Structure formats: C-alpha cells, structure tokens
Structure 1
C-alpha cells in the first residue's frame, strides 16, 4: 500500500494528529488509523429524492465490502436532487451538487470514494465532482424500479404520464381514469424504469469504465445489486492501493464508447449535456460534433420506452448492457480502461441476447441509424439536438410557420386558447428556457400540443426550444438550441409566422428569412422581461457564470479540476 492521503490527518503524535484521531474514534477499532485506507461513501440517499431512498441499504453493502478488504468506510451524505420534486428544475443545482461533492471529498481525510447515485442529476454531479478531485472513485448506480401495471398494461415512468395526460386533454381518457393509474406507476424502489436520463446515465457510467462491470441496469430490488455493491467496496480498496484514478479511466476512448452506446441504447438527450460536462472536468476534448459523428450511424438495438415498447426490467432480463455492447463491439474501442484495471474489451465477449424482441441483433435493429443528431443553421449557430428514434419519421423533414411562446408562463396562458392561430403543420417555438434564461434549462422542450389539435387526432408536431426535455419524453422535439435566447441567440428574434425549416438528414435548422433582417431585429421584449434576474444566492452565481448547452452547461470556473490537495492546513 502506498502512502495514504489520510495519513496527512492521522499519522504522527503531534496535537493535530491526536485531535483528528480522537474525534473519529467513536467505536472504530484502533487499527482504523494504522495505514488502512479511508473510503468515503458519497451517498445521495434522501427522502426527498424518492428514486434514491434505498441507497442507505446499498451503502451498507458497500461498507461491508470495504471492511472486508481492509479499508474503513465513511458515510458521506452529499447534495441530492429529486428530479420530480425540486423547483424550478433539478438541473439548476447539478453544478452546485458537483461543486459541493468536489469540495467535501477534497476537504476530508479520505483516500478514495464510492459514488452512490440514481436519479437523473445525481450520477452526473457525482462524476463531475469526483473527476475534478481525481482521487480513486467508482460508481454504484441505484438501479431502475420494477414494472408497474394498470389494468393489465405495463406503465413506463414519465413516458406514460406524458401520454396519458395528453389523452385526458384530447378527451379520450377521463380524469378519473388518469388518476386511478397513479398508485400503480411506482411499483418498487429505484429510479424510472424507462430509458430515461437515470437509466441512461447509470448505463453510461459503466461504459465510461466507472463501475464494477455488470452492475449498471440491475433493478434496484434485485439482491444482486447488493452483492455488486459489496464487490465495489472491495474494489475501491484495491483502487487506492494501485492509485487508479478517474483521470486514468475517463479517457477520450471512454467518451467515444459512451456516445456509441448512447445511440445503440436509444438513451436520453440529457446525456449529451452531462457527457460534455464530465469531459470538461477531465480535459477530454469531446464536442457536439463528436456526438453526431460517432453516434449518427449507430443502429438502435433497444426497444424500450420512450423510443420503443419495453421497460428496464425487460432490458435486464434480455441480457442488459453487456448484450448490447457485444452487438456493437466493432464500433467500440476495446482498449478503453475501466476501474478494475482491465480494458472494457475484456468484458464484451460471450454476452448473448436472451429476448430478441427487447434487445435486437445488429442484423435486425429497431432503426438502422438512430444516434442523436446535431443540427446547425441560422436558428442554431452553436448547435441543437434531436432524438430521431423518439420522433415521427414524417416530421424529420418539415417546413412550417412558427408559433412563438416567450416563456413557460406565456405557453400555459395561450396554448389552449381556441383562437390560437395554429395547425398541425405549425412549428411550436418556446424560448427563454436555456441555462441562463429560466434559469437551469428546465425540461419543458416537449411542449404539450394545443388541445384543439389533440381533439383532431394530432399527436406530434415539430417543437423547438432552448431548454431540455425529460429523458422519458418523446416527439419531434429540437432542443438545447444554442446560443440560447437569453445569451442573444437568434431564437430570441424569431416571430410568429416566420417559416421554420427542419431537415434532420441534412442536419439543418433554419428560419427562412434574410440573415440581415433577422440580425437587425431586436430581442423580443416580452421574452426578455421573463428572463431570470436573481439578486442573490446560488441562482445569481449560476446565471452569471453558466456556460451554454453546447459545452455542457457547467459553470465557467468549474471546468477542469484542481486535484486532491487541500490549499491550507488547519490548526
């Protein structure tokens, strides 16, 4: 075992070492301070993050593994963000959580860290913070919930909420029927059971090499998750002994593999902004263009909601992530490292598909090309994205007149107005919802459709927004438009009636008016009035320093890392 970082606190006979040891004794054996690695368990368990409530049990299994391997486990509660609970949006605090996690790991006498996350923003925040400190670190994803059913029909978290609520507005489902399904939606512990952001980021953490292989995608109630958690506890002690750090695992090859896997899985659009932010913390030069270049030709192999039919319990039963990666092994870099010290290629062979309806073979994909497409043009000079797998094929090339909403409040006030001048060919535009504008880039890009069109049978329209959408959502939605309207982007100059042209195959998003005319227009006054103008606190710091979605929406001063050294000693 090399010299331990924690020895800077505990080794020696001076007053400071005495103080540090004495306050930490509280029932631990004397040997806890005798050259045994101190392992933080960064735990996002919280009653207000319902998808992560079970992580205390996971932490106990991790702790047992750490003790068995000769380490000392230390529970470290960290900022937890419940996607369904916090307002205005959990994304507003992803960077705050990452900063807090980074500072707590660095400030404390720990030699390594196990990262417990589940709900959407928790795994990205944990990875961002740990990457910036660069102590040995490994992720345990909390896993998806089991499938709930209502009147014999499986329910997909989020996806079926959007679908059923639209049917209520269309008049094809009663409000009573909608509410009756509520108690059936969440069957067990765990995060959303669709291929939403939580599932996607748990799986991509493994593709990035940051989990014990075979852990991601295990359902939260599955006892094998606890066994893997125990194994992860043993692994982190080994990682400390060998000084295996995130900077050695999170390489350019790892991110390239993650982009390929994102496409094959039909994963969440939110993964793009998270991968860019994590890459920024370790100095890996991944860009939006790489997302398109590496992912656009990858076949969609996973038939899961929102892009397909099944749910995460089915995915695990059908072979899970290893089966998918085995199908696209030729598109992956097998030399990409993992936390075990072995390359990811060592874990690809021999994993077969158990249910070809859920996970398709390479020869019979759900879609031949399904990666997230990056669009550019006069409406998105710095880029925008769309998920073709979740869109209507007939709308992927479309021209329509803009119907513009200047804020979320404006949308809610006017969308269902019977006199709204809108038809099925219109393009709904919502702006002022980017990182600075709202703030926090909320999940509002999948605008509900006007009620009068729903009652006519319309179920999809082209929608454009500088915000995000839930990974459980679907539709022909162009999102993450950059620069955002609040940063002076051209989305802020579009007017109702302007012709909008979407051509996903050509990777274009344009407003068909002369460039000089668009540039000469002032920003819409109603939109500018609705922009966030916080006076204090985190929201003020965020709005003043957040970067654009095209680079990951991190805070400018947090990009990169500063290592594990504490600037000044106490006492």
Structure 2
C-alpha cells in the first residue's frame, strides 16, 4: 500500500463503475470478470461458479445455484431502496453494539451516522448490523462470562454477511476485546472505533468520575464517614454523561491498546464520547475502512507480534487495567501467539508509568485527551517501541508518531526521567501459590505492603465472603492476608471482578484503607490496592490456592516477584488427597460450553477451540 493511498489527507478515488467503462457486465469493484448481475438486465452473466468475490458476491448463501443466490440477494436488498450504483461499491459492515442496558454505548447512534458519512464520502456502501452488547454493571454473573460469546457472535456475523471490511464500534470493558477476537478469527480487514469516555462531574466542589471515585466514596461510606444522603448525592454525580469510565479502567485501557496495536486510527483512543472530536474520528474511521477494503489490508497484517509488544509497553506505561493482560492473551491466541508473562515482566523493568491518571495518578481521560492523547505518550515511549509495526493507515507506527508533531507543554504525561512510578504498572509474580503466575498492579498498591508476610484469612467463595466480611466476630487484623478462592474462570464462573475484596467493615471504621488481598479472580481497572490477582491454576481445578487454610502464613515480595504459601510440600499434598474440590460443570447451553472449554488466565480465558491451531511464537519476544 502506498503512503499516499492510505493517507487521511487524500480523498480516495473509487474504481470506475461498469457504466463508466461502457462494459455493462463487468464489476466496478473486485476481480475483473467476476460473475455479477448484468446491470439493467433481468438475466445473469454465465459462469458464476464460485462463492468468494467481494461486495454482495462475498459469502453467497448456499442454494446450490450461485447465480440464483446473487440474484435473490440483490432482489431483497433492493426492497430497501438500494440502487445498482449503491450495490456496486465496497460493502463496509458497521458492528452496532448499542443497547438500552449499555450507557457506555449511549452515543452509538450518532457514531454510526458519522461512520456511515465517512464510508459514503469515500465511495463505499455502509451496512450497520447488530451484535450482542455487554455492559460491566449489567451482565450476570459477570461481563467476562459473556465476552467469548460476543466474540463468537462478531466472528460469525463477519463470516455470514457480505462485507469487504468492518468498523467495530465498542467501548465498555469486554466489548473491544470481544470484537477484536472475533475479527482476528474471521480474518477480514477491520478497524476499531471506541465509543469514548464519559465526562467528569463534581460533588461539593470536588471533581469526580467513574469509577475509581465510585470505589473511593463507597469505601468512605463503609467506613461510616459518609451517610446515606451523602452517598446518594455522590451517586448522582459520578457519571456525568454517556461513555466509558473516566479513568484508566479496562475500557480506557483497551482504547489505548487498540491505538497502540495500530488497529484504530491515531488520536482515536481519548476523545470523550459526547465531543465533536469523537464524531470526526468516527467519520475518518468510516473513510479508512473503505481504503482497507480496497487494499485488502487484513487484520493479521496489523496484529503482529511487534504490535502486541507495543501494546504491552503501553499497558505498562499507562498504569493500565490488569484485565488488559487477559484480553491481549485472548486476542494473541486467536492469531497463534502465546503471551509470555515472564517476558512481560521483563518489559516492565524498563517501562515506567508515565501517565498521571487515576487510579495510579490524579487526572481523568478528558485531561489525557487535552494533553495530546496517545501521541504524547507514544512520543515519550518511542525508544522502546517497534516503530516498523504497520497500522490501519497503511503507515508504520513510527511514521504516525512523526506525523503527530513535536508535542506541547502539558502535565498529564510525564517524561521517562520523571515518571509516576519507576517500573511498569503491573508486575508478574510466581511461587508455590501461583505456579502458573499471578499479577499485581504495583503502581496503585500501598508501597508499605509490597514486602509483607501475614496470616491467611480465607473465604471459600463469593457467598462465604458476602456472609462474613462484615461480621464483627470475624477474626481478622490489618496485617492479615485476605484470601478469596473459587472466583477463577471456572470457579465463579467467568472470573468476576471480585478480587477487589472489601476491607472488613470493623477494620474500615478504624481507618484501615488497604490490606494484602489474593484471589484467582480479576478486579476492575478502576480499582486500587495491594491486590494479587489471576492466581493460576485457579482453586476450582485444584490449584494450590484451593488448599490455603485459615492461619497459614503467606509471604509477598514484589521485589523478588514472588508469592509463597509457607506450608511444606508434604502438607500441601496431604491436603490435596483429603480435600474435595467444588463441582465445575453445567448441564446445557452456553454454561456447558463455557465450563467444558474455557482456558486459564494465562491463555486469556478464551475457549480452547477458538484459539488458533497455527502456533506463531510468543509475545513479548
């Protein structure tokens, strides 16, 4: 692809239509001489024998007669008022994930209109289509449980409906990875458009935004420093508009990672949902989708090992959500790559946190946008990045950084010699408690607890925790280690964001704000604290976490990257022999599919049969 053809600065030229060439039977788009309907005629050209092609010829429904399949398809779509001229253009699908249950996607309709405008201006035919929509707060038992289902929905729609490229519109936590997982498996040209972050609100003169402030104020309410009326007032101000969380939660993390991967347009990660900047990005995304279709730039040429390594650098530098690791692992697995957690930790040793954004810092996403967005961050990270990685513009990441200009003075993105935190936001831990690894968001942890040994206070599952966490008789002290079992991929199921274990109420009211907490589950990217997550293997399948008992000693050393249960191997084996594990099975439907095939956190919690059978190595390299 030439740089000029891919540039946003040059309007695309549509290939001449058959009427322009005076050859009534020849397609204006796609393979020369491909079998198509004869314009203005009731009959078909002879020889339509294949089911490939482009536009409406792509993926013909099987009636045993391809000529009739195309004839029927055009007849029905013309019932919606389409002309031959419209149907002779590149067909660009637009994945619509709008839902009344998803306020993070509350700007879906204007985004689709802007994308359609861009597609039309570039000479394509926009075709919006629906998929399921997942919202973090509305999905039972957890949005992660449904991420793979959404990815399958996306993949199958991309395969089933004729389209030459697709614009994927998502935002809330699991929707962006689900769409990219599905698109990676489908293999067609694709470009991501995120819905954008919400605006911030104010409570009694203090700026607030979901959802780090949600947790902060709820902690104050549990500690009885806010009353019922005050917490109700806070609740009205935390979410000031539609859009995704205003902080570096999972949604913002995935938006930044999409741009770092090169699968979304430069400058697309940070414009808030309700701004003109977001609409302009949407229009440009539609136009670029047409160019992708014309050039045949498929998603596997963008999502390369080099691109994934860039995304991991960015994840570490933004203090991004721990969920980002799980989602990157799932996306990489669809393309035949495995995430190497040890290599990721090595990257973190020389990738400092540069973004001063909650929960690791003080600012919000709209501040990041005003500070120049991802271009400002990438400019600072440039010496650490794979600059030759290709992006959806047809240019390399290095070229896009150069095009972004010299930058300007701002206080949201720090320099590498003045970081928020000297290492990456996430550290990878190993030890006899987590043979397959665990992670900690070290940039938002209490530094006094990073080297800690304490007594285990164990909760067997979510129900046990809910029943006892606020019990006055709970035997717990501030230097203990809270352990929550059976909230992993199979144990919950769906690996819920319950790893942010509440501080027991009797300690919260005494002013305790953080404790070491361990689980095989996840936590929201908006959360903070000294929390060990993604313990692998999970308790429900017999990982060592299953055999931790009240009173056991646990040692955490972030410096040594270790998490250890101070129990002998012989004692652990005796517990394995005597302890029965919970049942992890289901009778029917999606639950059975999930339980039978879901992988562990290190493989992205994807279904094993959806991972690529072609192995292409590990990332980071």
Q: What's the TM-score bracket when you normalise by the shorter of the two chains?
A: over 0.9
Q: Which deviations, in whole Å up to 9, do the C-alpha atoms of 1:137-158 show, x marking residues without a partner?
A: 0001111011111111111312
CA spacing shift, 1:475–1:8, aligned 2, 3 Å: closer
Other-structure match for 1:75: 128
1:451 maps onto 2:500 in alignment: no
Map 1:273-284 to 2 at 5 A.
273-284=326-337
How far apart in 2 are the matches of 1:545 and 1:9?
29
Is contact 1:252–1:286 with CA below 8 Å preserved after alignment? no
Q: CA deviation at 1:8?
A: 4.0
Map 1:322-341 to 2 at 5 A.
322-341=375-394
Other-structure match for 1:191: 244
Is contact 1:391–1:475 with CA below 8 Å preserved after alignment? yes
Task: Indicate the larger mover: 131-140 or 50-59.
Answer: 50-59
1:540 maps onto 2:592 in alignment: yes
How far apart in 2 are the matches of 1:44 and 1:296?
38
Other-structure match for 2:146: 93
Map 1:96-245 to 2 at 5 A.
96-245=149-298
Other-structure match for 1:569: none
| TM-score, with structure 1 as normaliser | 0.95
Residue in structure 1 matching 2:522, options 468, 471, 475: 468
Map 1:112-511 to 2 at 5 A.
112-349=165-402, 351=405, 354=408, 356-511=410-565
How far apart in 2 are the matches of 1:90 and 1:453?
30
Q: CA deviation at 1:355?
A: 5.7
Q: Which deviations, in whole Å up to 9, do the C-alpha atoms of 1:301-341 show, x marking residues without a partner?
A: 11111111111111111221110111110000100110111
How far apart in 2 are the matches of 1:207 and 1:307?
20
Q: CA deviation at 1:20?
A: 0.7
Q: CA deviation at 1:247?
A: 0.5
CA spacing shift, 1:156–1:13, aligned 2, 3 Å: closer
Q: CA deviation at 1:13?
A: 8.9
How far apart in 2 are the matches of 1:354 and 1:162?
33
Q: CA deviation at 1:68?
A: 1.5
How far apart in 1 are the matches of 2:598 and 2:473?
38
Residue in structure 2 matching 1:5, options 37, 54, 71: 54
Q: CA deviation at 1:360?
A: 1.3
How far apart in 1 are the matches of 2:236 and 2:406?
35
CA spacing shift, 1:17–1:384, aligned 2, 3 Å: same
How far apart in 2 are the matches of 1:313 and 1:225?
12
Q: CA deviation at 1:519?
A: 2.1
Q: CA deviation at 1:491?
A: 0.2
How far apart in 2 are the matches of 1:280 and 1:130?
13
How far apart in 2 are the matches of 1:123 and 1:78?
12
Question: What's the secondary structure of 2:429's corresponding residue?
Answer: strand
| TM-score, with structure 2 as normaliser | 0.87
How far apart in 2 are the matches of 1:465 and 1:356?
38
Task: Indicate the larger mover: 314-323 or 354-363.
Answer: 354-363
CA spacing shift, 1:98–1:524, aligned 2, 3 Å: farther
Is contact 2:118–2:285 with CA below 8 Å preserved after alignment? yes
Q: CA deviation at 1:371?
A: 3.3
Q: Which deviations, in whole Å up to 9, do the C-alpha atoms of 1:148-190 show, x marking residues without a partner?
A: 1111111131211111111111121112111111111111121
Q: Which deviations, in whole Å up to 9, do the C-alpha atoms of 1:423-476 show, x marking residues without a partner?
A: 111000001000001000000001000111112211000000000001110000
Is contact 2:58–2:163 with CA below 8 Å preserved after alignment? no
Is contact 2:248–2:320 with CA below 8 Å preserved after alignment? yes
Is contact 1:10–1:21 with CA below 8 Å preserved after alignment? no
Other-structure match for 2:38: none
Task: Indicate the larger mover: 361-370 or 237-246.
Answer: 361-370
Runs of at least 5 residues in structure 2 that lack an aligned partner in the other structure: 1-28, 32-52, 615-621
How far apart in 2 are the matches of 1:169 and 1:364?
36
Is contact 1:493–1:518 with CA below 8 Å preserved after alignment? yes
How far apart in 2 are the matches of 1:355 and 1:264?
19
1:552 maps onto 2:571 in alignment: no
How far apart in 2 are the matches of 1:55 and 1:493?
47
Is contact 1:131–1:247 with CA below 8 Å preserved after alignment? yes
Question: What's the secondary structure of 2:596's corresponding residue?
Answer: helix
CA spacing shift, 1:13–1:390, aligned 2, 3 Å: closer
Is contact 2:332–2:339 with CA below 8 Å preserved after alignment? yes
Q: Which deviations, in whole Å up to 9, do the C-alpha atoms of 1:210-235 show, x marking residues without a partner?
A: 01111111111111211111111111
Question: What's the secondary structure of 1:100's corresponding residue?
Answer: helix
CA spacing shift, 1:13–1:537, aligned 2, 3 Å: closer
Map 1:554-569 to 2 at 5 A.
554-560=606-612
Q: Which deviations, in whole Å up to 9, do the C-alpha atoms of 1:335-354 show, x marking residues without a partner?
A: 01101111000122355565
Is contact 2:250–2:526 with CA below 8 Å preserved after alignment? yes
Question: What's the secondary structure of 2:156's corresponding residue?
Answer: helix
Is contact 1:319–1:351 with CA below 8 Å preserved after alignment? no
Is contact 1:131–1:281 with CA below 8 Å preserved after alignment? yes
Q: CA deviation at 1:374?
A: 0.7
How far apart in 1 are the matches of 2:307 and 2:59?
34
Other-structure match for 1:567: none
Runs of at least 5 residues in structure 1 that lack an aligned partner in the other structure: 563-571
How far apart in 1 are the matches of 2:229 and 2:155?
46
Q: Which deviations, in whole Å up to 9, do the C-alpha atoms of 1:33-92 show, x marking residues without a partner?
A: 32x111110111111111012112111111111111111111111111011111110000
